[in-house]
Chain A
Amino acid sequence: MTGPVRHLLSIADLDRDSIEQILDLTESFAEVGERNIPKVPALRGKTIAWLFYEDSTRTRLSFETAAKRLSADTMNFSVSTSSVKKGESLRDTVSTIEAMGVDGVVVRHSAAGAPNRIAEWVDAAVVNAGDGWNQHPTQSLLDLYTARSHLGDLDGRHMLIVGDIKHSRVARSNVSAFTEMGADVTLVAPRTLLPADIDHWPVEVTHDLDSVIESADICYLLRMQLERQELAYVPTLREFHTEWGLDPRRADLLPEHALIMHPGPMNRGVEIDGSVADRPNALMTQQVANGVAVRMAVLYLLLGSGLDLVDERLAAA
């Protein structure tokens, strides 16, 4: 994100140095969140539009909170996928929004690459808030931030990503993000939930969660998308839970320092046992809290005055 990066479309666009800069900046913004009045004027006069083609209360609230803490104006262009399929092309929709004069567009879309297309058509900065199975870069940044705050340097740390990898933008983003930061990533899933031809991915793959659980520094669980059950990627959710769920027995096998993470919303009793989700090393609430600070950092970097001014601005605020 140093230099002329105008959009945040994919975590793979960021190298290790850029990621570290964002995480360092996140730390400053996390501090803002702890103040009595958690607000800085950094983006005063800037307008950000939410363009959510897919429902997402959590991510949108997180971005919205981040924008408000930066004093940006926001507007919501909520589009249901069905209304789009009826008529207006993506390009027309985006042009309409840009005509209203926005500085940033935060996009969530069910189709991979939608933010890339939009970035070709607008001058505003585009932030990918999740596109299909492809990318969810701010989720990865908040996951990195959360993991780093507990484990320090992620170099050589072993991360398991468990569950529905195939349909998960979080998995694709996090493979890039965590390997870029030096972690060793192992994907754990039955083949029906793994993408095809991933020999070239910088990961290990296993179907046997028990074989790797004891060596994990991070056990990252993905949401089983219950709406996909019609296609029967696993025979039953009960069987999925037995084989790939983090139950108390497996959670006990994790090293003591190991972190349990999940992008939410959780299906208790499916990918994670209810009691495990409430253990002290389960960081889901922290992930959500850090999400606001990370998104403040991203919005600030893309819409604000740039990295070099961060310290002054924050000091002045």
Chain B
Amino acid sequence: MSTTLAIRGGIVVDSTGTRRADVVVDSRGSIVAVGAEMEADESLDASGCVVSPGLVDLHVHLRQPGHEEAETVETGARGAALGGFTAILAMPNTTPTVDTAAMVNEVIGLGRGTACDVHTAGAITVGRDGETLSPMAEMVRAGVRVFTDDGTGVQDVRLMRTALEYADSLSYLSGGRPIVLAQHCEVSALSKGGHMHEGRWSSSLGIPGQPAEAEELMVMRDIALARLTGARIHFQHLSTARSVAMVRSAKQAGLLVTAEATTHHFTLTDETCASYDPVFKVHPPLRTDEDIVAVKQGLADGTIDAVATDHAPHTSEDKERTFADAPSGMLGLETAFALANTELDLPIEEVLALMSWRPAAIAGLDPVHGGPIVAGGAANLAVIDPGATWTISADHMASRSTNTPYVGRVVRGKVRHTILRGLPVVVDGEARM
């Protein structure tokens, strides 16, 4: 027997526009009505809030299997729900790597019954070794739509070409949905040994740097491959001004490229590394003020399609090392919407496009996620108070880790409720599961 839930008093925002309406969902997972003064078994207050399709994150590290001390699929999914996400795409760099259908099923299985819809990307190469193509077809059959060796880029250009052409052939297994290769752009011969952005700060801090060009050279190379193969490439976590410019002109040339930028790459600069605190160590590294301006511009003009988190939990022990010895990565799921809403200077409709329907389309998750809020649609929703200000603290996060670089930062925009398949998984900012 199903029950119904009305979300009352909010402003509905989706890819079709903005209007004032109540939304009634049922516990079987559908939107049953959108309108005014409708009856329902229960209701949630959405006054002062925006009711949006749930947010979609193309880039999270859930650490399971292999590093459950830092995060599990369950805790990561809970953090995602608290951040307004109804779908997340887990990166395959677990231990072992997600490079077989069996591993895909393992992660998908761990995601069942959690507070968020958990999808996983598959690795492009076996063990992310950059040498041997992984069995992509069996992973597509298991539901994978995105492949990446994230954490490292595919260095071998010939292998990357092969991967693009092979993956492009597999949409007959996905009901015609495109298969996307997502690239972590970094020429490792040039970045090797670097722990932060190479520039005036790395030079004065004595921390080995890696130049922006390490990213840009692979963006340039992969744009050439997109032209050569006609296949789809998604650029992960673009961080430099010239990367953004290259993707802009590739799009103008009609190539099938998409891109994401992380919240930290439009919020923090390399100057933060002067604390020597590895909470600011991340890959690609934090860049300069000019790069932040360019990333924001890219998000504003559509060059960059999506805001992602690159949520990368690490235990305190792992971050209580020197800058050189500590692993890269920072938390992002529970702060992403607020940072985008605060830092980007975009209307909320645009912020939601970058965080919901555009990433959903890239990962082939629409219209179940990111689809229009209409009767018959999937009931995956975020209810967000865009005006609420709050101070970020590591103490109350759902993540098993605490490596957020934003402690003490005052931000605007708070997720009030999250609805997953018609069920309230977050109510008044508290996780229900």
The number of A-B residue pairs with CB atoms under 8 Å apart is 77
A272 to B324, CA, bound (A): 32
Shortest C-beta distance, B280 to chain A (Å), equals 11
A57 on the interface (CB 8 Å rule)?
Answer: no
A91 on the interface (CB 8 Å rule)?
Answer: yes
Near B by CB (< 8 A), chain A positions 90-133 give 90-92, 109-114, 116-117, 131-133
B162 on the interface (CB 8 Å rule)?
Answer: no
Q: Are B200 and A111 in contact (CB under 8 A)?
A: no
Near A by CB (< 8 A), chain B positions 249-277 give 275-277
Answer whether A90 and B325 are a contact pair too, CB < 8 Å, given A196-B211, A198-B200.
yes
Interface string of B320-335 (1 = CB under 8 A from A): 1111110000000000
- B206 contact set on A, CB distance < 8 A: 112-113, 131-135, 169, 172
Interface string of A171-205 (1 = CB under 8 A from B): 01000000000000000000000011111110000
Q: Which of B200, B202, B317 touches A200 (beta carbons < 8 Å)?
A: B200
- A172 contact set on B, CB distance < 8 A: 204, 206
Shortest C-beta distance, B129 to chain A (Å), equals 22
A85 on the interface (CB 8 Å rule)?
Answer: yes
- A132 contact set on B, CB distance < 8 A: 206-207, 324
Interface residues on A, range: 20 to 34
Interface string of A206-227 (1 = CB under 8 A from B): 0000000000000000000000
Near A by CB (< 8 A), chain B positions 160-210 give 198-200, 202-209
Answer whether A111 and B324 are a contact pair too, CB < 8 Å, given A134-B206, A196-B199, A196-B209.
yes
Closest to A195 in B: B203
Q: Are A134 and B205 in contact (CB under 8 A)?
A: yes
A200 to B276, CA, bound (A): 21
A275 on the interface (CB 8 Å rule)?
Answer: no
A109 to B207, CA, bound (A): 13
Closest to B277 in A: A117
Q: Are A111 and B323 in contact (CB under 8 A)?
A: yes
Q: Are A113 and B205 in contact (CB under 8 A)?
A: yes
A236 on the interface (CB 8 Å rule)?
Answer: no
A83 on the interface (CB 8 Å rule)?
Answer: no
Closest to B196 in A: A112
Answer whether A111 and B320 are a contact pair too, CB < 8 Å, given A117-B276, A117-B277.
no
A36 on the interface (CB 8 Å rule)?
Answer: no
Answer whether A110 and B321 are a contact pair too, CB < 8 Å, given A131-B206, A132-B206.
no
- B325 contact set on A, CB distance < 8 A: 84-85, 90, 111
Q: Are B322 and A111 in contact (CB under 8 A)?
A: yes
A49 to B392, CA, bound (A): 38
| Highest count of chain A CB atoms <10 Å: which of B205, B276, B318, B323 | B276
Near A by CB (< 8 A), chain B positions 297-351 give 317-318, 320-325
- B211 contact set on A, CB distance < 8 A: 196
A167 to B138, CA, bound (A): 48
Shortest C-beta distance, A108 to chain B (Å), equals 12
Q: Which of B205, B320, B322 touches A109 (beta carbons < 8 Å)?
A: B322
Q: Which residues of A contact B (CB under 8 A)?
A: 84-85, 89-92, 109-114, 116-117, 131-135, 169, 172, 195-201
Q: Which 4 A-B pairs have the closest CB atoms?
A: A113-B276, A134-B206, A111-B322, A195-B203
